[in-house]
Amino acid sequence: MAEVLFARVSADTKGAIESFAAANGRSVAAAVAELLSRGLQATSRSNQIAELQERLQQAELALARKDVDLQEAKLALETFAQREGERLQQRLPGELPTSFRPVPEGH
């Protein structure tokens, strides 16, 4: 069931509605209903777009944090590899690593 709505609008707005109605072969009442419906849909979509933009910003921030974590891990790995490479070069051929512990006799 259709409801009745009365609203006061400026002369410019009334003229724009009448022009829209004439250009689309509609009555002024049908034009007002359509324009209101479009406006409400646009407002709803605008809210959805704002929510999606917020989610996108959050995802981009999380990605940037992961990139920082990745760079830190790469740096730590490179440092470890360099340190271990230097340790290996300092050992004599056949020398066991310093962490080697001989097995006690009787085992």
Give the whole-angstrom CA distance, residue 100 versus residue 80: 19
| pLDDT-based confidence at residue 104 (cuts at 50, 70, 90) | confident
* pLDDT surpasses 70 at 100: no
Task: Tell me if 9 sits within 8 A of 17, measured CB to CB.
Answer: yes
Task: Tell me if 29 sits within 8 A of 19, measured CB to CB.
Answer: no
pLDDT, tens digit, 9 for 90 and up, residues 24-81: 999 999 999 999 999 998 888 888 888 999 999 999 999 999 999 999 999 999 999 9
Which whole-number Å values give the CA distances from 95 to 11, 78, 84, in the listed order? 97, 25, 15
pLDDT, tens digit, 9 for 90 and up, residues 3-35: 888 889 999 999 999 999 999 999 999 999 999
